[in-house]
Structure 1
Amino acid sequence: MPRPKRSEQFDPGEVCIVHVVQRCVRRAFLAGVDRESGKDYSFRKEWIRRRMEALASVFAVDVLSYAVMSNHMHQILRNRPDVCCRWSDEDVAIRWLRVFPGRRLEEHLAEPTENDVQTLVRDKERLAEIRKRLADISWFMRALSEPIARMANKQDDCTGRFWEGRFKCQRIVDEAGLLACSIYVDLNPVRAAMAESPEQTPHTSVYDRVKACQGAKLDSAAFDLRPIPTDETGTKIRDTPVDELRQERKKKRQNPTCRKILRDGWLSPLTLLPDKLSDEPEVHTGGVRSSDKGFLNMTWKDYWELLRWTARRSVEETNLKVPASLRKTLQALGIDLSMWRDLVWNWQKYFGNSVCVGHPESIKQHAAETGHHHHRGQASVKSCFAPG
């Protein structure tokens, strides 16, 4: 059975949350230690993380959780057309030109100028289309996947596919599904026996959040959202040797804004603030992410406690009861306490073939809203949830 159309899973014009999986071709370890050649490509995980961080600064898409593995990556993304609507025409133009300059920068060795921005702003029809694309998860994934594939192929001196095909997408339809999916994504390296605990798993959102709590910072990969004065660019290209321009551009790519941020500064905050209206966009003004809106009705402390408890996998601990402090949270979401660990550790069994993630009743409701009698995988998750 073919995958559903993207238009049936999410609409760039409405806020929605999706779980995205992108696999390397033939599931080869192209971002880890290759089993055949023995070569270590683990450094490519940082390529992917930095590209995600850069795109989070220009797209109206929140990165809620992520995990970069050796042969695939997981992301939980939330598109924000409500945030994109708040951006000025100039903001939209410079953001787009940073990702899609429309010319070969190696030939021109120039960044988007004020003239480039104003030229795009005057084309109202194209600008309206670009505004939609900046809130489109498909365009976000295109801008993430294609450059990584080009860099890897150039490094390996080869051509062909790096990624298996178009990304797999699951719509997350309620908070129960979002919590379970977020825990599943953050625990991917632990489930794969790559680490014993979540805090030992680089290139995951939980690792970034833990390190940020300890005060760890990194060089920001966010795009510089200031256009270059047109006259200054022309003079610089004319008077500066090409090799020097290339070196300068290469250096700037490491830290375009010359800023350091907390390690999780580019990720969406975890906790929803109760004093904010539900429809408040909470537009971010620091230039590293699209919004300051959280995504779970729980504190980082509670989330971390639940994550660490769920990560405990020894035989002696498999039947441990859910800690009393976490029972209320899971019960309020309609999750069967006795099935929580099984739901996360055996995610593929319950949600592997599903196009939606959430409580069975929420999945059924979404199916009805999209003109379907039911969604594939709807029945398999009933045992993990209490009746509504």
Structure 2
Amino acid sequence: MTRSRKSQISLEATPYYHCVSRCVRRAFLCGVDALTRINYEHRRQWVEDRLLWLGEIFAIDICAYAVMSNHVHVVLHINVLQSRQWSAEDIVMRWHRLYKGSALSHRFLKGDAFSPAEQQAFEALVAQWRETLTSISRFMAVLNEGIARRANAEDRCTGRFWEGRFKSQALLDEQALAACMAYVDLNPIRASLADTPETSDHTSVQMRIVCAKASKQPSDLLPFVGNPRADMPEGLPFKLSDYLELVDWTGRAIREDKRGFIAESLPPILTRLNISGKQWQQLTQQFEKQFRCFAGQRSSFEKVRDYFQLSRTPPNLLAT
């Protein structure tokens, strides 16, 4: 039975989630329609721009993304700590970038004095908006709605553009996070849209590589902060150099002329995460099929089972 999005997301279990949205009609989201020969390639930039724009507004960090011909992959990190640090003005200003707001929120920005009842109502409104700005469901809804409206206007049609529900997978541990990010970043290579990660347009890995050449990390993406440690700052628990090496090695391993090839020496991140080369290839080539709503080791799921209110262990989890 299909599970609601709310039941698939638990901040107590993990802040990392893989989301996928797919088109419902034959017309492409992006790329060239083989039947009509109409080129929709420009829509990739629509999606990428809107995705990064929403990352500026929500308390949700973007770890990885790939804009494909008829679907979009994104790995998200819910940053509750960041939302808690925002002032009421921060919340209102961010909300107004998405919606018109309310009479109270506009009066607040003007500096009007509130009565006790109005102040209480305003604080309740801010609390509601603060929670919404950490919602993956709202994030994906705003992303998809904006693209659907533009695409329908361009196509001069009406009706649903995306599937009714986006797919969500909880990434329960570092192994699942690393595998899923590589899976997302290598989508264009598996689809023969690019030969290398650096030529994979409208992907997070291309953005990271461009910035890495300038010895920096992109401000629009959640940064890599190195191996887990006590004083670890907010960010991905890997080294950027290790991840780029990992993606490059994985991409070479899944090429048509080298299918099933396993490198003699694994990247440091694989050794640290205790994942075999054969298992890694399986994960990064078939991540969506390998897992359903939850991705990670069986032992990782057992630790957070109660948060998702499941009586049975999901199939296809990794052995510890």
CA distance in 1 between counterparts of 2:72 and 2:41 reads 13
Residue 269 of structure 2 corresponds to which residue in structure 1? Answer: 329
Counterpart in the other structure of 1:295: 236
Measured in 2, the distance between the counterparts of 1:361 and 1:61 equals 27
Distance 1:154 1:54, change over 3 A: same
Paired with 1:15 and 1:114, the residues of 2 have a C-alpha distance of 37
The corresponding residue for 2:231 is 277
Of 195, 206, 219, the residue aligned with 1:265 is 219
Task: Determine helix, strand or coil for the equivalent of 1:18.
Answer: strand
Moved more, 115-124 or 339-348: 115-124
**What CA deviation, in whole Å up to 9, does each residue of 1:265-317 have, x standing for no partner?**
21111234767635xxx6xxxxxxxxxx22132x2211111111111134653
| Correspondence list, 1:1-388, <5 A | 1-2=1-2, 4-11=3-10, 16-26=15-25, 28-102=27-101, 116=109, 122=119, 123-215=122-214, 264-272=218-226, 277=231, 293-297=234-238, 299-312=239-252, 313-314=254-255, 317-324=258-265, 326=267, 328-351=268-291, 354-376=292-314, 378=315, 380-382=316-318, 387-388=319-320
Which whole-Å deviations, capped at 9, do the CAs of 1:88-145 have from their partners, x for residues lacking one? 1101110111111249xxxxxxxx9775465799411111100100111111112211
Deviations 1:310-354, CA, capped at 9 Å, x for gaps: 11134653454435351x532432323332212212334422xx1
Distance 2:15 2:260 in 1: 35
Q: Which runs of 5+ in 1 are unaligned?
A: 104-111, 217-261, 283-292
1:354-382 Cα deviation digits (max 9, x unpaired): 11011132234433543323343x2x354
- CA apart distance, 1:158: 1.3
The offset of 1:81, in angstroms, is 1.4
- Report the counterpart of residue 240 of structure 1 in structure 2: none
* 8 Å Cα contact 1:64-1:270 kept in structure 2: no
* Matched-pair contact (CA < 8 Å) for 1:12–1:136: no
Residue aligning to 1:108: none
Deviation readout 1:55-91 (Å, 9 max, x if unpaired)? 1111100000000101000000011111100011101
Q: Which has the larger radius of gyration?
A: 1
Native 8 Å contact 2:25 2:161 kept in 1: no
CA distance in 2, matches of 1:366, 1:13: 8
Q: Check conservation: 1:24, 1:162, Cα contact below 8 A.
A: yes
Let me know the Cα RMSD of the aligned residues. Answer: 2.7
CA distance in structure 1 between the aligned counterparts of 2:46 and 2:185, rounded to whole angstroms:
19
Q: Is the 8 A contact 1:13 1:132 kept in 2?
A: no
TM-score, with structure 2 as normaliser: 0.87
